């Protein structure tokens, strides 16, 4: 009995030793760390900010950046903040980590939203940092700064946009630039196209837009395609018919499904800009072709067609003949039943033939089957949700009368 107690005591002692209960808790700061975080309380807000940006820890620098709008709001510290703190902020951002960059994107946007700095001063300081940071090698940082730039564009006068942003955007769209840069160009051009007169868009922006629609990278083509309705709104009807629609028609026939989906969604967005003649001669045949191809291919475009069909029909309804209306009714019925046909269902449950020379596998073929079934189910689901806006009941009554 005694030996058993001794063994238990020894085991307990060893367990306590392993726990090292006397060691400092990890969450507590050492004396040296506390000294690094300590700042002279007699320093002014400006002095403290400059000191922390120069010698402080990451968390302290982030705090300064978050507080930047408040420093600029204070009339007593405004000028000194612009002279001493802002240059230091721009300096540390060159090598800053993601958290500090994200803090800066928020602060820089707030400064413009709250009119804390005159537009001229903003464009010479904060805007330049934003434009440079869009080219960050970190995709997350670059994306955050790009979103900030797009928000900033909404608040800037067109003179500043033309002088400070247009040239930079065009240079980003050159083929020699990275895919990330060209993608940024697409979104910037879409945003600024509604800011200028049609002749400026036609001369400065349109050539780059057309080039990006033909880009070698499918992501760039898709991204530029999604901005075509914005470019069209800036150009006007006639230029849209001659310059934008040919690009859009080609993009809806792109080899990549991603681009075709972007093309379909852009067709929906551009409908309100077009006249009856253009809808009748170009858009309606194009929509019918897109619908037919989606059903035949049974790819990712099919659920999107089912989602957008209501908006498409609503947008072109006034330009459809009774025969065309009947075609869309029949097509909608087909979408509602896609994947339910007995012959297709029986063929899909049959075990696929594996081509060993192709390196295929039973698992991958089954995965393809399940993915296809998911698309078909999604298509029927979207068709059901889409029924009220399709207006097929009204169409049926119109045809019957």
Of the residues 129, 152, 175, the one at which a domain ends: 152
> At 49, which helix (H) or strand (E)?
helix 45-55
> How many Cα atoms within 13 Å fall on the side-chain side of residue 280?
7
Task: Judge whether 2 lies within some domain.
Answer: no
pTM (2 d.p.): 0.80
Cα–Cα–Cα angle for 334, 337, 340, nearest 5°? 135
35 lies in some domain: no
∠ CA 63-64-65, nearest 5°, is 90
Instruction: Identify the pLDDT of residue 358.
Output: 46
Residue 323 in any domain: the answer is yes
- 175 and 249 share a domain? yes
Same domain, 135 and 148: yes
Same domain assignment for residues 191 and 215: yes
219, 246, 273: which is the final residue of a domain?
273
Cα distances (Å, whole numbers) of residue 173 to 6, 145, 183, 184, 316: 78, 17, 8, 8, 34
Claim to verify: residue 167 and residue 257 sit in the same structural domain:
yes
Tens of pLDDT along the chain (401 residues)? 555 556 566 666 666 566 554 555 555 556 555 455 555 566 788 999 998 999 888 999 999 999 999 999 988 889 999 999 999 999 999 889 999 999 999 999 999 999 999 999 999 999 999 999 999 999 999 999 999 999 999 999 999 999 999 999 999 999 999 999 999 999 999 999 999 999 999 999 999 999 999 999 999 999 999 999 999 999 999 999 999 999 999 999 999 999 999 999 999 999 999 999 999 999 999 999 999 998 888 888 888 888 888 888 888 888 988 899 889 888 888 887 776 664 455 554 444 444 545 455 555 554 555 566 677 777 777 666 666 555 554 555 455 54
Which two structure tokens, joined as six digits, stand for 241?
Answer: 């018919």
Helix (H) or strand (E) holding 107: helix 98-113
30: in domain:
no
Helix, strand, or coil (residue 111): helix
Are 248 and 312 in a shared domain? no
**Among 124, 106, 36, 15, residue whose Cα is nearest residue 67:** 106
pLDDT for residue 366:
47
End-to-end CA distance of the chain: 102
211 and 240 belong to one structural domain: yes
Domain with 309 in it: 275-350+361-401
Residue 397 domain flag = yes
In terms of DSSP H, where are the helices of 271-349?
276-278, 284-297, 301-316, 322-337, 342-349
Q: What pLDDT is stored for residue 361 in this prediction?
A: 54
The CA-CA-CA angle for residues 157, 120, 82, to 5°, reads 135
Task: Classify residue 295: in a domain, yes or no.
Answer: yes
Residues 126 and 165 in one domain: no
CATH number at residue 227: 1.25.10.10
Write down which residue in 213, 244, 273 finishes a domain. Answer: 273
The total of structural domains in the chain comes to 3
60 to 54, 77, 116, 126, 224: CA distances (angstroms): 10, 19, 23, 21, 40
Q: What is the pLDDT of residue 22?
A: 52
Would you state the pLDDT for residue 247? 97
Q: Are 133 and 121 in contact (CB under 8 A)?
A: no
Residues 73 and 136 both lie in one domain: yes
């Amino acid at each position: 009995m005694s030996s058993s107690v001794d063994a238990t005591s020894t085991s307990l002692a060893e367990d306590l030793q392993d726990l090292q209960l006397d060691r400092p808790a990890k969450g507590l700061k050492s004396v040296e760390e506390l000294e690094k975080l300590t700042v002279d309380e007699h320093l002014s807000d400006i002095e403290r900010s400059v000191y922390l940006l120069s010698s402080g820890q990451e968390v302290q620098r982030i705090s300064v950046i978050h507080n930047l709008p408040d420093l600029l709001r204070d009339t007593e510290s405004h000028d000194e903040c612009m002279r001493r703190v802002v240059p230091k902020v721009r300096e540390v951002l060159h090598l800053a980590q993601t958290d500090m960059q994200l803090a800066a994107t928020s602060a820089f946007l707030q400064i413009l939203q709250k009119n804390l700095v005159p537009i001229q001063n903003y464009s010479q300081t904060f805007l330049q940092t934003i434009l440079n940071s869009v080219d960050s090698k970190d995709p997350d940082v670059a994306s955050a700064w790009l979103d900030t730039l797009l928000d900033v564009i909404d608040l800037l006068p067109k003179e500043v946009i033309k002088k400070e942003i247009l040239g930079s955007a065009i240079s980003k769209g050159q083929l020699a630039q990275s895919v990330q840069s060209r993608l940024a160009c697409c979104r910037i051009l879409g945003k600024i196209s509604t800011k200028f007169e049609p002749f400026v868009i036609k001369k400065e922006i349109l050539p780059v837009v057309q080039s990006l629609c033909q880009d070698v990278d499918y992501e760039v083509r898709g991204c530029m395609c999604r901005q075509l309705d914005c470019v069209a709104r800036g150009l006007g009807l006639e230029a849209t018919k001659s310059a934008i629609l040919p690009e859009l028609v080609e993009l809806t026939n792109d080899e990549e499904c991603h681009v075709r989906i972007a093309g379909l969604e852009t067709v929906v967005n551009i409908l309100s800009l077009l006249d009856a003649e253009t809808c009748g001669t170009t858009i309606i045949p194009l929509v019918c072709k897109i619908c037919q191809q989606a059903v035949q291919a049974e790819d990712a475009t099919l659920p999107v067609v089912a989602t957008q069909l209501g908006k498409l029909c609503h947008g072109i309804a006034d330009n459809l003949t009774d025969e065309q209306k009947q075609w869309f009714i029949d097509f909608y019925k087909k979408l509602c039943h896609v994947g339910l046909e007995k012959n297709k269902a029986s063929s899909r449950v049959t075990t696929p033939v594996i081509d060993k020379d192709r390196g295929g596998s039973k698992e991958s073929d089954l995965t393809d089957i399940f993915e296809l079934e998911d698309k078909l189910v999604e298509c029927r689901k979207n068709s059901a949700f889409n029924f009220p806006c399709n207006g097929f009941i009204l169409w049926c009554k119109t045809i019957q009368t």
